[in-house]
Amino acid sequence: MKLFDLSGRRALVTGSSMGIGMALARGLSQAGASLVLNARNAERLEESAQTLRAAGATVDTLPFDVTDAAAARAAIDGYEAQHGAIDILVNNAGMQHRTPLEDFDPEDFDRLMRTNVNSVFYVGQAVARHMITRKRGKIINIASVQTALARPGIAPYTTSKGAVANLTKGMATDWAKYGLNCNAIAPGYFDTPLNAALVADPEFSAWLEKRTPAGRWGRVEELVGACIYLSSDAASFVNGHTLFVDGGITASL
């Protein structure tokens, strides 16, 4: 359908060398978008780009550290000047650190917040400045089921993902008047490298399958439809929304 066609648009996906970011990049390409992949590890990023190119995607790579505001601004400004508009931004880069809150090291807390929250602001602002000039653009921030729910040992992560959802509302409030759509996707429990330890834990997996109405872990490909929707003209009047893709875990006690 034309409403969901992303042909002629360019999408920057942060943290896209693996996991959810890679899956979303692949899905956006299949909907017609050209890609700009981002991660800190340039070698791994190029390997991911080659994989997507082999499947027919048009891919550039833009390695920079999303937790460095100056580096993000310089990379994005330079790319736009040389290659043209970034029409879609997916702020996917993130990290997890599991420790009981009473033992959580302040340096680890700061690092987690820089990665999960500051990066959304740094990259979002750098891209939005160009989108505002053009009076159009789509920003999609990756939140989490922990935006709404807490679990032992990850209080700082829960804090960061709650902040992502509220920053998304703030982006929409400030930038909708310029033609930007700013929304978030909140994945539930997905089988990703970030969750490898949990996936490998039979006790946790059994608990999760019982706790989730769908009765299973999510597959990263099941996030693609939400991302294409929020990137497309079909979501032209959707702003400041966090879309939970979680198998029903936030709907049920």
Share of the chain above pLDDT 70, in %: 100
Mean pLDDT in residue range 22-32: 98
Catalytic residue among 79, 157, 189, 229: 157
The residue written with tokens 């050209």 in the block is: 34
Note the pTM of the prediction, 2 decimals. 0.96
Cβ contacts of residue 1 below 8 Å, gap of 6+? 234
- State both tokens at 156: 């700082």
pLDDT at 1: 82
pLDDT at 5: 98
CA dist 123 and 16 (Å) reads 14
DSSP alpha helices (H): ranges in the chain?
Answer: 19-30, 42-54, 69-83, 106-113, 119-134, 155-175, 196-199, 202-211, 224-231
Q: Give me the residue spans of the domains in the chain.
A: 2-245
Q: pLDDT tens for residues 159-168?
A: 999 999 999 9
Mean pLDDT in residue range 153-172: 98
Does 6 have pLDDT greater than 90? yes
For residue 195, what pLDDT band results from cuts at 50, 70 and 90?
A: confident
Q: Is 229 a catalytic residue?
A: no
Q: pLDDT tens for residues 92-137?
A: 999 999 999 999 999 999 999 999 999 999 999 999 999 999 999 9
Q: pLDDT tens for residues 49-103?
A: 999 999 999 999 999 999 999 999 999 999 999 999 999 999 999 999 999 999 9
DSSP 3-state assignment of 212? coil
Q: pLDDT tens for residues 213-236?
A: 999 999 999 999 999 999 999 999
- Under CATH, to which class is 2-245 assigned? alpha beta
For residue 253, what pLDDT band results from cuts at 50, 70 and 90?
A: confident
